[in-house]
A and B are shown apart, each in its own frame.
Chain A
Amino acid sequence: MDAPGTPLVVLDHVNKHYGDLHVLNDINLTIAKGEVVVVIGPSGSGKSTLCRAINRLETIDDGTISIDGQPLPSEGAALAKLRANVGMVFQSFNLFAHKTILQNVTLGPIAVSKKSKAEADGRAMELLERVGVANQAKKMPAQLSGGQQQRVAIARALAMQPSVMLFDEPTSALDPEMINEVLDVMVGLAKEGMTMIVVTHEMGFARRAADRVVFMADGRIVEDTTPAEFFDHPKSERAKDFLSKILTH
């Protein structure tokens, strides 16, 4: 086990284009073990692409991304193995629609980590208990509210015992009254020392749980600082403009 502070996720001169759009422009970012980094920025700034590139759901044109010192493999079994170590939570939950809540959480441990069903079930129930949906274990995803589904999605990712968790706008598809139940789970995770990269617009979460805020615009990292510094004394015009737009209402 590495000590806190060791670099865990390292992006080095990462570039990606969508046609003419330079969606990731020379991104350099190091995330240490145990760090909680919130990535913030206007839509189209490349923050989701950045998050998805870290477990290679998006390919990059050049530069390197490494996790725990290992460069991302390009395809095949090595990539699958690495992804098992990187948890991902999506905006649209993406629970497996043909599986029960419990099976959603146990599928990875059984199919990927080759755990026994009994062991996977036990661990899954603990995780569902922890995110507060254990009483829904036998239901199908479509029977749950969005907030419940997203908490199950977090449990599903945790079941693989990842060393880093990626959150790609985890509350953007939720009704307002369900946002907090998901954020509470995330704050709990952060307090326990999980390394987290969170793309979100939730300022409250950033202030409460983040060690760093990374502000992106037009494919570049414009600011990389503490939450207090970013929200109270943004340096760039781009960040001031962005904050004035989202904080005035």
Chain B
Amino acid sequence: MVIFDNLPLYLEAFLQTLALLLLTIVLALPLGAVIAAMRISPIGSLRATATVYTEILRNTPLVLVFIFCFVVLPILGVILPFMFSAVLALTLYTAPFFAEAIRSGINGVPVGQAEAARSIGMTFGQTVTLVVLPQAIRSVIPPIINVMIALTKNTSIAGGFFIFELFNSGRRLVNENGDQVILVLVGVAAFYLLITIPLGQLADFLERRVVIRR
């Protein structure tokens, strides 16, 4: 059967998808947290910068962001390795989604909590890290994992830009095995599910573990 015959190829592509996913999370999650902090900061210019960035990237098709990183940047003289460009595109695009997920969780923490923190002399940074974020975590976990699931699927765009990940492997295998297209694609889907289903389970588990009573 085509899936088992090509297991090494699938596996190689799966690892590439996993690499795209993990590298992007490692970069986009902190960037998203910074953007979220900027959006609630008392400094107007930081708020404005973060808002403009969020609105532009969040409302642009991911393919356009890829074209920007793979076509426009080289024209401007910035030539990067393909993998680097792909992670850059995914990070730029995903960070605002993480930021919005974090911000919605922060907005769910009553404003009195931050006022109380500031009234005992905490700085903005202490208020956010010691009082607001720890309470926002619970409501932030499910939307963050949703963003990760969407990101897992979005890594497939990189397949159209020279990266040999799952979607790209499917394309190659379809070309080589024209008579078993459905099986090839079932194989591709199965590898994506191998990532996304455990992510969903993790969300449920963490949500039950971290409960804050009011």
Task: Establish whether residues A108 and B121, one from each chain, have CB atoms under 8 Å apart when the complex forms.
Answer: yes
Which A residues touch B113, using CB under 8 A? 94, 96-97
Tell me whether A80 and B122 are in contact in the complex, defined as CB-CB below 8 angstroms, given that A98-B135, A142-B213 are known contacts: yes
Bound Cα distance A57, B214 (Å): 23
Bound Cα distance A98, B113 (Å): 10
Task: Establish whether residues B115 and A107, one from each chain, have CB atoms under 8 Å apart when the complex forms.
Answer: no
Q: In this assembly, does A75 line the interface, its C-beta being within 8 Å of a C-beta of chain B? A: yes
Task: Establish whether residues B119 and A88, one from each chain, have CB atoms under 8 Å apart when the complex forms.
Answer: yes
Which A residues touch B131, using CB under 8 A? 96, 98
Tell me whether A140 and B213 are in contact in the complex, defined as CB-CB below 8 angstroms, given that A108-B120, A156-B120 are known contacts: yes
Chain B min CB distance to A174 (Å): 16
Residue of A76, A88, A90, A97 with most partner-chain B CB within 10 A: A97
Bound Cα distance A160, B116 (Å): 13
Which A residues touch B42, using CB under 8 A? 75
Chain B 92-105, CB-CB to A under 8 Å as 1, else 0, gives 00000000000000
Q: In this assembly, does B9 line the interface, its C-beta being within 8 Å of a C-beta of chain A? A: no
Chain A 36-70, CB-CB to B under 8 Å as 1, else 0, gives 00000000000000000001010000000000000
Chain A min CB distance to B213 (Å): 4
> For this complex, into which size category does the number of interface residues on chain A fall?
20 to 34
Chain A 125-154, CB-CB to B under 8 Å as 1, else 0, gives 000000000000000101100000000010
Q: Chain B's interface: helix, strand, loop or mixed, by majority?
A: helix
Task: Establish whether residues B116 and A90, one from each chain, have CB atoms under 8 Å apart when the complex forms.
Answer: yes
Q: In this assembly, does B130 line the interface, its C-beta being within 8 Å of a C-beta of chain A? A: yes
Task: Establish whether residues A112 and B118, one from each chain, have CB atoms under 8 Å apart when the complex forms.
Answer: no
Task: Establish whether residues A142 and B120, one from each chain, have CB atoms under 8 Å apart when the complex forms.
Answer: no
Q: In this assembly, does B203 line the interface, its C-beta being within 8 Å of a C-beta of chain A? A: no
Q: In this assembly, does B52 line the interface, its C-beta being within 8 Å of a C-beta of chain A? A: no
Task: Establish whether residues A111 and B126, one from each chain, have CB atoms under 8 Å apart when the complex forms.
Answer: yes
Chain A min CB distance to B135 (Å): 5
Chain A 74-95, CB-CB to B under 8 Å as 1, else 0, gives 0111001111111110101011
B118 — nearest CB in chain A belongs to which residue?
A83
A-contacting residues, B78-132, CB 8 Å: 110, 112-113, 115-123, 126, 130-131
Residues of B within 8 A of A (CB): 42-43, 110, 112-113, 115-123, 126, 130-131, 134-135, 212-214
Residues of A within 8 A of B (CB): 55, 57, 75-77, 80-88, 90, 92, 94-98, 107-108, 111-113, 140, 142-143, 153, 156-157, 159-160
Sample 7 A-B pairs with CB under 8 A, ordered by A number. A80-B122, A81-B121, A83-B120, A84-B121, A90-B119, A96-B113, A96-B116
What would 8 more interface pairs be, CB under 8 Å, given A83-B119, A160-B120? A76-B123, A83-B118, A88-B115, A94-B110, A96-B116, A96-B117, A97-B113, A143-B213
